[in-house]
């Protein structure tokens, strides 16, 4: 009898372990990337070490996913939660801010001339057609009107050479894909724009860098129906923050310095990371006499030049950078980026973004009152997106990788037939890299319209925020309250 009881207990343990195994299998399946119909290929990285030559990091390894996330290859750019609202909400406009595509490093690195920054898409029919069409378009008077102050900028990056800070063919391919994806949502499906565009239906801005200008060209080519540029003008974005008015602020330097000190304190609490940066610096910098690299973010940026283009990681006197060290730096940068927004960080971002947010609000007023613009595009940088996210107090967001996009969709509730033109019938939502983050905005008090599920597991929600909440937030007495000020000028006063 005693043995029979022990056997029953053993059988229960086996059943419990079996169910746990099934549950873990389900959870591992749920956590894979959402576009399972198009799984990304393995990432090939030659580490420069003989035993590791031609190393293949299989997709199911976490470090491979980290590298692919940072490089954001074109096949990874897919539609997710953009434009998925019930039919009673009519989309009246979108504002799209994105980071430029893949570029060369921002400082000279070892063996830079040997890194091939070309991309497999360079030989595809789409890329070839883009190159042919954009070159033909550039010979017309229409193009001259279109590019305006960017007339002397080169249309395309070098075909393979990796130039410091310049866009690569992979960066072009990323924005061709991004434009294609968003065209399918906002043009083909939601009919926001058509081939017969009118003047000021689409407003586009770019900072005065080659990489943002070339990214914008590739995006518009794939995004615009028929690539009709006759009624569009590229406007100078007036800096990384796209600020046209109320831009200069003496207090920004104070908050930036305070925030930099906070980041240095983070790094002091991670001596292992700083030791890794010191050990890798002689392997990465272009020459022994060059300045040492001391910032983990700068080191990560330099290493991505190798990793994102399948190049050998650098070696010196028998010592080589290892893939594990690259992913350690990426993990640290992710950790640092996800720390709670400090007061200095938020205040600096709010001062930098105020002009852009006011410009966004003016565009939304035009969408409501005149029906135009229907689309506003900002071709910027990681800092552009970061300032916006910080100024809206979005917590713990992933840092913007190449070709990241932040989209603000503006909707009208068409079911309320009484007072149809009242501002209370207008809403917006914010989608960051395909994910609806509206509910994370503290001042929103969001309305949840839909829960997305996989089986019985929640995969996110579709939310709206009243436009009135954004208008109230941007009132000077509200926006600058934490500065103990009621205007931009007062908040900037030393």
Number of domains in the chain: 1
Residue 423 lies in a domain: yes
Residue 478 lies in a domain: yes
CA distance 174 to 183: 14
Residue 428 lies in a domain: yes
Residue 471 lies in a domain: yes
Residue 89 lies in a domain: yes
CATH for 392: 3.40.50.1240
For residue 429, give its domain range.
Answer: 77-250+341-492
pTM as predicted: 0.86
The one-digit pLDDT tens for each residue of the chain (494 residues) are 444 555 555 566 566 666 555 554 444 333 323 332 232 333 344 333 333 333 333 333 555 677 778 899 999 999 999 998 888 899 999 999 999 999 999 999 999 988 988 877 677 888 899 999 999 999 998 999 999 999 999 999 988 888 999 999 999 999 999 999 999 999 999 999 888 888 789 999 999 999 999 999 999 999 999 888 888 999 999 999 999 888 889 999 999 999 999 989 889 888 999 999 999 999 999 999 999 999 999 999 999 999 999 888 999 888 999 989 998 998 888 888 777 778 999 999 999 999 999 999 999 999 999 999 999 999 999 999 999 999 999 988 888 999 999 999 999 998 865 555 678 899 999 999 999 999 999 999 877 777 765 555 455 778 999 999 999 999 999 999 999 999 999 999 86
Residue 68 lies in a domain: no
Residue 142 lies in a domain: yes
């Amino acid at each position: 009898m005693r043995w029979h009881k022990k056997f029953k207990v053993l059988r229960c343990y086996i059943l419990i372990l079996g169910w746990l195994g099934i549950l873990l299998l389900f959870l591992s399946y749920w956590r894979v990337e959402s576009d399972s119909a198009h799984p990304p290929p393995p990432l090939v990285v030659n580490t420069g070490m003989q035993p590791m030559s031609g190393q293949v990091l299989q997709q199911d390894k976490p470090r491979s996913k980290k590298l692919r996330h940072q490089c954001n290859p074109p096949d990874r750019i897919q539609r997710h939660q953009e434009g998925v609202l019930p039919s009673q909400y009519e989309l009246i406009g979108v504002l799209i801010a994105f980071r430029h595509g893949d570029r060369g490093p921002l400082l000279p690195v070892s063996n830079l001339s040997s890194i091939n920054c070309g991309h497999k898409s360079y030989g595809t029919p789409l890329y070839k057609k883009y190159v042919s069409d954009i070159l033909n378009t550039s010979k017309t008077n229409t193009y001259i009107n279109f590019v305006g102050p960017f007339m002397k900028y080169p249309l395309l990056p070098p075909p393979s050479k990796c130039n410091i800070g310049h866009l690569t063919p992979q960066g072009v391919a990323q924005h061709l894909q991004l434009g294609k994806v968003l065209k399918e949502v906002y043009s083909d499906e939601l009919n926001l724009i058509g081939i017969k565009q009118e003047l000021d239906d689409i407003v586009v801005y770019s900072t005065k860098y080659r990489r943002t200008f070339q990214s914008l060209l590739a995006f518009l080519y794939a995004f615009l129906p028929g690539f009709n540029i006759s009624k569009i003008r590229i406007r100078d974005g007036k800096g990384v923050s796209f600020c046209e008015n109320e831009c200069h602020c003496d207090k920004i330097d104070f908050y930036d310095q305070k925030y930099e000190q906070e980041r240095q304190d983070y790094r002091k609490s991670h001596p292992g990371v700083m030791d890794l940066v010191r050990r890798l610096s002689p392997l990465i910098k272009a020459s022994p006499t060059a300045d040492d690299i001391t910032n983990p973010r700068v080191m990560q940026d330099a290493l991505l030049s190798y990793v994102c283009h399948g190049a050998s990681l650098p070696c010196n006197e028998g010592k080589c950078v290892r893939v594990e060290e690259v992913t350690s730096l990426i993990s640290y940068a992710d950790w640092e980026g996800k720390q709670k927004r400090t007061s200095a960080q938020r205040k600096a971002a709010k001062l930098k973004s105020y002009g852009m947010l006011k410009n966004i609000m003016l565009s939304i007023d035009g969408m409501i009152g005149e029906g135009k613009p229907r689309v506003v595009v900002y071709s910027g940088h990681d800092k552009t997106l970061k300032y916006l996210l910080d100024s809206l107090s979005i917590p713990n967001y992933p840092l913007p990788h190449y070709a990241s996009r932040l989209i603000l969709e503006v909707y009208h509730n068409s079911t309320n037939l009484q007072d149809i033109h009242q501002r209370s019938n207008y809403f917006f939502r914010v989608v960051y890299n395909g994910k609806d983050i509206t509910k994370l905005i503290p001042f929103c008090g969001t309305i949840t319209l839909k829960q997305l599920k996989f089986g019985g597991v929640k995969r996110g929600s579709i939310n709206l925020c009243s436009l009135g909440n954004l208008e109230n937030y941007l009132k000077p007495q509200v926006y600058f309250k934490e500065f103990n000020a009621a205007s931009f000028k007062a908040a900037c006063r030393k």
